[in-house]
Amino acid sequence: MSGGLSSASFPKNAHAALANPPLLKAIAHIEETLVSGRRRAVDALPEFEALRDAGRDIKAHTLAHLDLYLEAFEKKVVEAGGFVHWAADAAEASRIVLDICQAAGARRVTKGKSMITEEVGLNAFLEANGITPVETDLGEYIIQLRGETPSHIIAPAVHVNKEQVAADFRRVHTKLDPLRNLEEPTSLLAEARGVLRERFLTADVGITGANFLVAETGSTVIVTNEGNGDLTQILPKTHIVLASIEKVVPTLEDVATIMRLLARSATGQEMSVYTTLSTGPRRAGDPDGPEAFHVVLLDNGRSAMLGTEFEDMLRCIRCGACINHCPVYRSVGGHAYGSVYPGPMGSVLTPSLQGLEKAAHLANASTLCGRCESVCPMRIPLPKMLRHWREKEFERHLTPKKARFGLAAWRFLAARPRLYGAVTRMAAWSLARLAGKDGALKQLPLASGWTRWRDLPAPEGGTFRTEWAKRGRK
């Protein structure tokens, strides 16, 4: 299964995913790795819940002063010798990055893992303009070779198995000895490391995202495990950081607080291997580091979310915990969502990025079980926001006719207790009769969505309220 799926066809995408056993096996793995890892890390830190409160408060404070912190950040970057560019939307961001690359005479750029570059579709745009982007995060690299999009914001290639990776390497790495054994993940990693090492050393520009932008110092912060982000940003002559505006935080202390939440929530590590703060270009006398440092600040709809019921979503630190714990994601994987951002956080973000018409399924395809919110380090009320999208759909008459009719009928009935009593009494009695001694129905035409997969337990017979009245009770 590849990317390029659309949110509008979510049920169809989900159907395909459910018929893809290797995919399901790969996703099932998340339980033992990311989910239990998070549990262990959280249990080992008594202050975790207090940190969640603090993290939420930091972001809430920052968002309420977002314009001012962005200005402060910009000033600091410029003081350190860097450049700040502002991009209102995806097209402008891509354009700015291209301009910088062209001015640097770049042919080949390396990229650290960045969901924002996925959001703006940067790779395709650079390629169309004669510049070769090379993804360097192992997962992203695999995805790029396969011509896919990431299926998870933290583990982009979680849906790919090692046999598929081996086949991809043999197809693309032309210098690879056909006899070389690529059965084990270790040999695959060694192969990728070798190929990418050369790319790092020869790239003209390095592009990374940022986990934080620090207003106090003008630093951009990336958090990685592989070290690819660092090689991307220190080796080429030019370093471009593409980050969305809500990544700014006030101070280093605020970075520390959220850092303590990020890795634990994402992978169950207490700290990711590399947390790197970059401030401006290399200094006089520095033996290495980029000569030019650019930060591109992307809005792309975020400023319009402020002050709305979706403002809380801007606290998101892209840890992926909500995704890992989502029963729907765990059933169908990331690509089915047809969006850069899958799972609960994606179902909240995607309608604002793609338009509610296209993404209407996403907010509905949730049981609202609330596990996402219960693990979100930034305490984002995801179910509440999914419900807000449902309300907007309903207001704008995007809810399917059949569902609207059903709701109206139910509302009509439920507002008329006596009629309701009569109808439910009749229906319960009929269903109980229909089931007879079986106690359950194997199929029921009007409830085929139910009986296709499970029996429908039959009503006992009389409704509670009739039985209650029969006993002369009030």
Does 68 engage in binding with another protein (CB under 8 A)? yes
The 10 Å Cβ neighbour count of residue 381 is 17
Mark 130-169 with x for binding to ligand SF4 (rule: CB under 6 A) and - for no binding: ----------------------------------------
Q: How far apart are CA 394 and CA 16, in angstroms?
A: 28
Q: Which tokens in the block code for residue 76? A: 């600091």
| DSSP state at residue 37 | H
321 binds, among ligand SF4, another protein, none (CB under 5 to 8 A by kind): ligand SF4
Are 429 and 391 within 8 A, CB to CB? no
In order, the DSSP letters of 218-285 are: TEEEEEESSSHHHHHHHSSSEEEEEEEGGGEES-HHHHHHHHHHHHHHHTS-SS-SEEEEE-SSPPTT
Mark 295-334 with x for binding to ligand SF4 (rule: CB under 6 A) and - for no binding: ---------------------xxxxxxx------------
172 binds, among another protein, ligand SF4, none (CB under 5 to 8 A by kind): none
Smaller CB separation from ligand SF4, 290 or 343? 343
Q: Dihedral sign, CA of 279, 283, 289, 294?
A: positive
- By CB atoms closer than 10 A (0-12, 13-18, 19+), residue 216 is middle
Instruction: Compute the least distance from the CB of residue 211 to another protein, in Å.
Output: 12
Smaller CB separation from another protein, 226 or 341? 226
332 binds, among ligand SF4, another protein, none (CB under 5 to 8 A by kind): another protein
Q: Kindly indicate which of the ranges 70-78, 94-102, 350-358, 373-381 contains the residues binding ligand SF4, using the contact rule CB under 6 A.
A: 373-381
Instruction: Compute the least distance from the CB of residue 158 to ligand SF4, in Å.
Output: 15
320 binds, among ligand SF4, another protein, none (CB under 5 to 8 A by kind): ligand SF4
Q: Kindly indicate which of the ranges 127-135, 149-157, 315-323, 343-351 contains the residues binding another protein, using the contact rule CB under 8 A.
A: 149-157
Does 382 engage in binding with another protein (CB under 8 A)? no
- By CB atoms closer than 10 A (0-12, 13-18, 19+), residue 274 is middle
Instruction: Compute the least distance from the CB of residue 250 to ligand SF4, in Å.
Output: 18
Nearest to 215 by CA among 332, 48, 61: 61
Q: Kindly indicate which of the ranges 67-75, 168-176, 371-379, 444-452 contains the residues binding ligand SF4, using the contact rule CB under 6 A.
A: 371-379
Q: How far apart are CA 431 and CA 435, in angstroms?
A: 6
Q: Which tokens in the block code for residue 374? A: 């219960």
Beta bridge partners of 87: 298
Does 6 engage in binding with another protein (CB under 8 A)? no
Q: Which tokens in the block code for residue 66? A: 């977002």
Of 134, 210, 345, 386, the residue at the interface with ligand SF4 (CB under 6 A) is 345
109 binds, among ligand SF4, another protein, none (CB under 5 to 8 A by kind): none
The 10 Å Cβ neighbour count of residue 418 is 7
Instruction: Compute the least distance from the CB of residue 379 to ligand SF4, in Å.
Output: 8
Q: Which tokens in the block code for residue 458? A: 């039959």
The 10 Å Cβ neighbour count of residue 464 is 10
Instruction: Compute the least distance from the CB of residue 280 to ligand SF4, in Å.
Output: 29
- Which residues between 244 and 273 bind ligand SF4 (CB under 6 A)? 265
Smaller CB separation from ligand SF4, 104 or 322? 322
The most distant pair of C-alpha atoms in the chain lies apart, rounded to whole Å, by: 94
Are 238 and 291 within 8 A, CB to CB? yes
Mark 377-416 with x for binding to ligand SF4 (rule: CB under 6 A) and - for no binding: xx-x------------------------------------
Please identify which residue in the block is written with the tokens 């569902």.
Answer: 403
Residues in the chain: 474
Instruction: Compute the least distance from the CB of residue 130 to another protein, in Å.
Output: 25
Smaller CB separation from another protein, 101 or 266? 266
Instruction: Compute the least distance from the CB of residue 115 to ligand SF4, in Å.
Output: 10
Q: How far apart are CA 16 and CA 10, in angstroms?
A: 10
Instruction: Compute the least distance from the CB of residue 236 to another protein, in Å.
Output: 12
Q: Kindly indicate which of the ranges 125-133, 170-178, 245-253, 350-358 contains the residues binding another protein, using the contact rule CB under 8 A.
A: 245-253
Does 278 engage in binding with another protein (CB under 8 A)? yes
Nearest to 256 by CA among 230, 275, 279: 275
Which parts of this chain interact with ligand SF4 (CB under 6 A)?
265, 316-322, 345, 376-378, 380
